[in-house]
Structure 1
């Protein structure tokens, strides 16, 4: 029997720091979104910057490593860095405060579509990604 199609179809889900942290904490909503994505052949990814930002002494490193092993960590390439700079310039934001958000946005914009970003920075990521990416607040 064929699997019923849900709201998601093959594409990419990008977790920002809060998305990753909530997944590691077994947040019910984020866990359900990640599970649905995986069940529907979405790639679940983070930027290589995200685990660094998510590092917190309250999260055991073994737990973080286990969750990271279940997704794709996208490198911060020269192309991603250049795109992040363009995005920051395009919306008038400073890299000192918004660098990681810009890298997450550039990663999302370079991913297989449709793309969903799970984030606590809904306003910032929406500015940086525009309408090409669905931004979901977590």
Structure 2
């Protein structure tokens, strides 16, 4: 697929009539930026069903590197709801790590993304390359799709 086939919605404001939410973790966002056909198709299908697409602000940091197409990233982010990380989010993610027996920097951002996913309008689907850890962190409330 060529760049530009995925049309972002006009705003990042939460859609109160949402039919659910697709959450992208680092790999989900990276593959969307890379124009990966399967990820673009999943996101397009979700949007066609009235679902919103959301990312944690930390996911943007994690997914950006020297070779990132920054213009495409910026364009895509204009149509994705970006969830900010505040003190309440950090405390909830920390508690999630304790509850699941995980710890350390390896799981810190994943815990923030999982906590954010749990707060989204249902049904919630997460696109991730880390299905095992995200399943542990999210539990049954979030459908995990391995990419």
1:108 paired with 2:117, answer: yes
Partner of 1:77: 86
* Match for residue 132 of structure 1 among 121, 128, 141: 141
d(CA) in 1 for partners of 2:47 and 2:101? Answer: 35
How big is the alpha-carbon RMSD for the aligned residues of Structure 1 and Structure 2? 1.1
* Structure-2 residue corresponding to 1:89: 98
Instruction: Provide the C-alpha distance between the structure 2 equivalents of 1:116 and 1:86, rounded to a whole number of angstroms.
Output: 22
Which residue of the partner structure matches residue 54 of structure 1?
63
Q: 2:131 aligns with which of 122, 125, 130?
A: 122
Counterparts of residues 2-17 of structure 1 (less than 5 Å) = 10-17=19-26
| Unmatched 5+ stretches in structure 1 | 1-8
Q: In the aligned structure 2, how far is the partner of 1:79 from the partner of 1:11?
A: 23
> Is the contact made by 2:33 and 2:69 (CA closer than 8 Å) also made in structure 1?
no
Question: 2-side partners of 1:36 and 1:78: how far apart?
Answer: 34
1:99 is matched with which residue? 108
Query: Would the aligned equivalents of 2:22 and 2:46 in 1 still touch at CA under 8 Å?
Result: yes
How many equivalent pairs are there? 130
Alpha-carbon separation, structure 1, partners of 2:75 and 2:19? 24
- TM-score if structure 2 supplies the norm length? 0.85
What is the TM-score with the length of structure 1 in the denominator? 0.90
CA distance in 2, matches of 1:136, 1:91: 20
Runs (4+) of structure 1 exceeding 3 A deviation are none
Q: Which residue of 2 aligns with 1:23?
A: 32
Unaligned regions of 5+ residues in structure 2, if any?
A: 1-17
